[in-house]
Structure 1
Amino acid sequence: MAQKVQVLLVDDLDGSEAEETVSFGLDGSSYEIDLSSSNAKRLREELAPFIEAARKVPAKRGAAKGKAKGKQRTVLSRERSAQIRAWAQQQGKPISERGRIPKSIVDEYEAAHR
């Protein structure tokens, strides 16, 4: 039996369907948030006066750049997480909709799909 798992991005503010992931930085920390088109537009509009008055600086080199890059999730990793969550739910395993997937569940999923 074939299975098709679809990943649905959810707006982190209001729970509606998200169309994009927006990355931004503040006080030396990098952030990423999934937003609907309207909330992404609202965020950009709210930040616009500050961005217009700010100086753009080059990306940091070295450890800081590597550290921020390590936190970014690719679409592929999101799809894999969604597949693991869907599989765990089908198996009756307790798993949250968000957050880190327990290693034991990842290990079981990988063993079942070898």
Structure 2
Amino acid sequence: MAIKTIVESDISGQSDAATVTFGLGNTWFEVDLTEDEQKELEQALAPFVKAGRKAGQSTKKKRATPETTVEERAKIRTWAREQGHEVTEFGRIPRKIIDAYREAHKKSDQT
């Protein structure tokens, strides 16, 4: 003897529905929808799906942090001020200043 399971739409009550899972915020939902209702849901969400990304993926670029010691950062800050650059006492030193410092000291090391 065979057993047939009929899934009805949670929206219209029509048979031949299938379970659809989707998330919003931190909550996951399941709803039984017919094929037409699934297409309607997909069309409604299309602009958000197009603009979004899969969870766990980020479009932010990771900043490369130059490997410097505390002492080297202090020397860079002192040199930068002597060269007329504005640098903060603490925090991130702009990459262009680090590059300029290294370029200036590379030349002086070769002489």
TM-score range, shorter chain: 0.3 to 0.5
Structure number with the higher helix fraction is 1
**Larger RCO (CA under 8 A, 6+ residues apart):** 1
The higher radius of gyration belongs to 2
Q: Using structure 2 for the length normalisation, give the TM-score.
A: 0.46
Normalising by structure 1, we get a TM-score of 0.45
